């Protein structure tokens, strides 16, 4: 089965033609090896940076934006969101502060995307 996809690793945006042949995955159209790695990852275990918000206490805002420190498997997103939905952080928070280490054993941390001052 053939799949066409656009490589998003760099601005060149090569069109990748990916064909699965039994246990092998053949990639054509890639301008460099990073495109081949991207295509194989997209076919076998696609990964994404997760951005979401967490509830926060003692702040002038009710939620704080957070992001994973590295791309995580799309298969792990539901489990991670279930974990994050039960977390309430407390101000003050610094941008880049790790809120959860190694979330769901993905190797990625959940980090704050902005500073939030304490109000009380
Ligand atoms: S295959 Fe290489 S050159 Fe082409 S878009 Fe991907 S990273 Fe860029």
Q: How confident is the model at residue 21 (pLDDT cuts 50, 70, 90)?
A: confident
Cis-peptide, bond into residue 102, ω within 30° of zero: no
Q: Over 80: is that where the pLDDT of 120 sits?
A: no
pLDDT at 1: 78
Q: Is the CB of 31 under 6 A from ligand 1?
A: yes
Q: Is the CB of 12 under 6 A from ligand 1?
A: yes
Q: Over 80: is that where the pLDDT of 67 sits?
A: yes
Reduced to 3 states (helix: H, G, I; strand: E, B; else coil), residue 86 is coil
Q: How far apart are CA 114 and CA 97, in angstroms?
A: 9
Task: Give percent of the chain with pLDDT exceeding 70.
Answer: 100
Domains along the sequence of the chain with CATH: 2-44 (no CATH), 51-112 (3.10.530.10)
pTM of the model: 0.84
Q: Is the CB of 13 under 6 A from ligand 1?
A: yes
């Amino acid at each position: 089965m053939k799949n066409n996809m656009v490589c998003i690793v760099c601005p060149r945006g090569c069109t990748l033609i990916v064909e699965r042949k039994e246990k092998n995955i053949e990639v054509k159209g890639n301008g460099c090896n990073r495109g081949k790695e991207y295509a194989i990852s997209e076919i076998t275990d696609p990964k994404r940076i997760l951005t979401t918000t967490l509830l926060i206490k003692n702040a002038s805002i009710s939620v704080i934006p957070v992001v994973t420190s590295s791309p995580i498997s799309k298969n792990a997103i539901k489990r991670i969101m279930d974990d994050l939905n039960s977390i309430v952080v407390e101000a003050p928070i610094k941008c880049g502060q790790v809120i959860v280490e190694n979330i769901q054993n993905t190797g990625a941390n959940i980090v704050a995307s902005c500073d939030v001052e304490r109000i009380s």
